[in-house]
Homo-oligomer: A and B are copies of this chain.
Amino acid sequence: MHEFELINNYFQKLSKKSPGALNLNDDVFFDKKNKLVVSVDTYTEGSHFIDFKKPDLVIKKIIRSSISDLICKGVKPKYYFISGSGNKKSFSKSNLSKISKALNQEQNKYKIFLSGGDTVFSNKLSFTITAIGFANDIVYRNKAKINDDIYVSGNLGDSYLGLLVLRNKLKLNHQLQKYFINQYFMPNIQLQLTKKIKKFANTSIDISDGLLADLDKMINNQKFSYKLFLKDIPISNNLKKLLDLKKLSKIKYVSNGDDYQVLFTASKNKSGIIKKIASNCRVKLTKIGLIQGISKQSIIVDDKNTQISLKKKGYLHKF
C-alpha cells in the first residue's frame, strides 16, 4: 500500500474535525486561530539515513529536513522536539556528545530551541522530530493558478550525488566526494525565504522525495498539468562539471529527493519582485517551468523542446 492510500483510506476522515490538519494533504498542520504551525516527521536508520557512523551529520540532516517543512510554507521554525529510539551503542557517551554538539550548532544557525522529546530503548534506531512555528498565514499546497511560473530555490541533485558516493555507487576525487556528501547531510535550506515567500508564492512544497514527485504532490487536488524545462533546472557547478565529464544524463540526477529546496508557483507578474527578493535575501530562485490546464499533459522537455520520458519520479513510500 502506498503511503497516500493509507492516509486517505484510514486516517483522513479522522482529521475532518481538525480544520488545521488540512485533510492530511499538506506539509504542515496550521491552526489559524492559535497561529500554530506543526510538522511531525520520523526518520529511521536504513531508510531515511544509511547508518549512524556520523551521528552529528545524521542529526543535522534530520533537523534540516524537519524545519524545511515549515520554511517552505513561509513559517519560521521556533521549537523542536526530538524523540529518539536507540540502544546503548547508538546512544553511547561519544555519540550523545556529538548529537548534542550538532544540535547546538543547528540551534544557533537556525534560531530554533530544543523544547522536549523522549528517549526510549530500541534496537532499531529512529528519530521523530516535531517542529513548531507561529504564523498568521501560510502558503498552502494546491493553490497554483493556471499559467503560473514554477520556481525552485537553490540547486537540485547534489544531495543525491552524495548518497551515491556514500553507497559506493560512484567514485570521485576526494574534494568532490566531500562536497556532495556535505550537501547530502547538510542541505542549504532557505531560512531567509520564510519572511518573503508569502509575498509572491501561490502554492509551495519542499522537495524531499524528488522534484517531479513533489511537484505532483503540490498540485494533487488541482486539475492542472505542468511543463518543465530540463535546461533551466538549477544545478551546482560541481554537478554540471561531473555530468559533462562522465556524460551523464541530467534528468537522472535532479529528481531523486533529499534536496530540501523550496518549490513554488507564482503569477507571471511577480517575476520582478521575485528577482528583487532573491537578490536581497541572497537566495537563488530559478524559474523552471509553468502550470498548464488539464487538457495538456504534464511534461518535461529538453533543449530541443522534445519531451523526455521518465521511469521514476522520485521516492515512493510503501508498506
Contacts and interface: CB of A to CB of B under 8 A. Distances in A.
B18 A319 contact: no
Contacts of A39: 116
Contacts of A40: 81, 83, 116-118, 128, 130
A117 B43 CA distance: 12
A143 B100 CA distance: 29
Number of copies: 2
Given A14-B114, A113-B18, A120-B47, A42 B6 contact: no
Given A79-B31, A97-B10, A128-B128, A42 B120 contact: yes
Nearest to A132: B38
Task: Tell me if A's interface is mostly helix, strand, loop or mixed.
Answer: mixed
A87 B44 CA distance: 13
Contacts of A311: none
A318 to B, nearest CB: 7
Contact of A121 (B9, B38, B318): B318
A1 interface: yes
29 contacts: A10-B97, A11-B100, A11-B103, A13-B100, A14-B100, A14-B107, A14-B113, A14-B114, A15-B114, A21-B113, A21-B116, A29-B115, A29-B116, A31-B79, A34-B36, A36-B132, A38-B115, A39-B116, A40-B116, A40-B130, A41-B118, A42-B128, A43-B120, A81-B130, A85-B124, A85-B126, A118-B128, A121-B318, A130-B130
